[in-house]
Amino acid sequence: MPELPEVETTRRGLAPHLVGRRVDKLIVRQPRLRWPIAPELIALLPGQRVDDIERRAKYLLVHTQAGSALLHLGMSGSLRVLPETTPVGSHDHIDWRLDSGQVLRYTDPRRFGSQLWQNAGEIHPLLAGLGPEPLGDDFDGDYLWHLSRERKTAVKLLLMDQKIVVGVGNIYAAEALFAAGIHPSRAAGQVSRARYAVLAVAVKQILAYAIGRGGTTLRDFISPDGQPGYFEQELFVYGRSGQPCRKCATPVKVITLGQRSTFFCPRCQH
């Protein structure tokens, strides 16, 4: 599933080709995604000029004067800017025809993404109640420490709670906890203030690094036969069960927390 760095990479890749452009037509080949395509999107988006593209958590908001398209890539979705004449594939569900002669094409084999609508001056229910952005000033060790007091839930689940902080998915939670030396199943309320400070810094550094790596492949967003340029992940523990820890050579272990596979080093993390 695309996580925050991949979504931010998508935003940066699309912005130069969308901002300032008018959406002339919306072509919907498959309206049934995770939710049906919002009728307001179909009715209001054509004829609008794109003012900006913003990321909130793992959502993209394409802002226009009439309101904002709220896009989510789901499990397997991608967005690319292509020449209008590019042949349509079986999983190419939606095109935004732009006044540049190009299209913004949404491709999604699993159809678990979404294209919804947020009226101007309103906040969509999916965005209401979300926590702060992990790269913002509102997110730090003190913030995590205060919210974790008396909590018995595993610290990894706290970190992945979108009401606590947005966009820290399974991969980056595992990697940040490894960098901070914190066992993922440790009760959130038992982690010290000092260790939360280290964890918050690790989250910021790992996400920023991943975004930076993604930024080196933005050319792929306008390639007719390419895929979005997600960075090649350089992971310490995620997906490496049984392989030697890159720091101490102890075999990486995997457990299940919150129905998600959780990778950690039993020696480096406690």
Residue 3's pLDDT band (cuts 50, 70, 90): confident
Mean pLDDT of the region 164-183: 95
| Strands 67-72 and 59-63, bridge-based pairing | antiparallel
Cα separation, 75 vs 147, in Å, equals 29
**More confident of the two residues 44 and 218:** 44
Tens of pLDDT, residue by residue over 219-252, are 444 433 455 444 445 789 999 999 999 999 999 9
Could you tell me if 57 and 127 are in contact, meaning their C-beta atoms sit under 8 angstroms apart?
Answer: yes
Q: Match 């970190």 to its residue by tokens.
A: 159
Active-site residue flag, 2: yes
For residue 110, the Cα-to-chain-centroid distance in whole angstroms is 17
Tokens representing 28 are 């919907």
Binding-site residues, in ranges, read 91, 110, 151
For residue 233, what pLDDT is reported?
57
Binding-site residues for DNA, in ranges, read 91, 110, 151
Mean pLDDT of the region 84-95: 94
Tens of pLDDT, residue by residue over 44-78, are 999 999 999 999 999 999 999 999 999 999 888 88
Tens of pLDDT, residue by residue over 105-151, are 999 988 999 999 999 999 999 999 999 999 999 999 999 999 999 99
Show the domains of the chain with their CATH numbers: 4-119 (3.20.190.10), 141-264 (1.10.8.50)
For residue 66, what pLDDT is reported?
96
For residue 70, which of 34, 24, 98 has the smallest C-alpha distance?
Answer: 34
**More confident of the two residues 9 and 54:** 54
Q: How does the average pLDDT of the chain come out, rounded? A: 91
CA angle 154, 55, 40 (to 5 degrees): 115
3-state secondary structure 105-167: EEECCCCCCEEEEEECCCCCCCCCCCCCCCCCCCCCHHHHHHHHCCCCCEHHHHHCCCCCCCC
For residue 5, what pLDDT is reported?
85
SS3 for 63? strand
Residue 1's pLDDT band (cuts 50, 70, 90): low
For residue 18, what pLDDT is reported?
96
The catalytic position among 3, 6, 8, 175 is 3
DSSP string, 187-252: BGGGS-HHHHHHHHHHHHHHHHHHHHHHGGGGGGGG-TT----------SSTT-TTSBPTTT-PBP
The whole model's pTM is what?
Answer: 0.87
For residue 231, what pLDDT is reported?
44
Mean pLDDT of the region 86-114: 94
DSSP β-bridge partners for residue 115: 71
Find the Cα–Cα–Cα–Cα dihedral 228, 229, 230, 234, rounded to 10°.
150
SS3 for 76? coil
Mean pLDDT of the region 245-269: 97
Active-site residue flag, 58: yes
Q: Residue 190 pLDDT more than 80?
A: yes
The catalytic position among 21, 55, 58, 195 is 58
For residue 56, which of 123, 112, 145, 144 has the smallest C-alpha distance?
Answer: 123
For residue 9, what pLDDT is reported?
86
Active-site residue flag, 8: no
Strands (E) across 29-91 are located at 52-56, 59-63, 67-72, 78-83
Q: Residue 163 pLDDT more than 90?
A: yes
Could you tell me if 189 and 150 are in contact, meaning their C-beta atoms sit under 8 angstroms apart?
Answer: yes
Active-site residue flag, 152: no
Mean pLDDT of the region 156-167: 96
The secondary element (H helix, E strand) that includes residue 170 is: helix 170-180
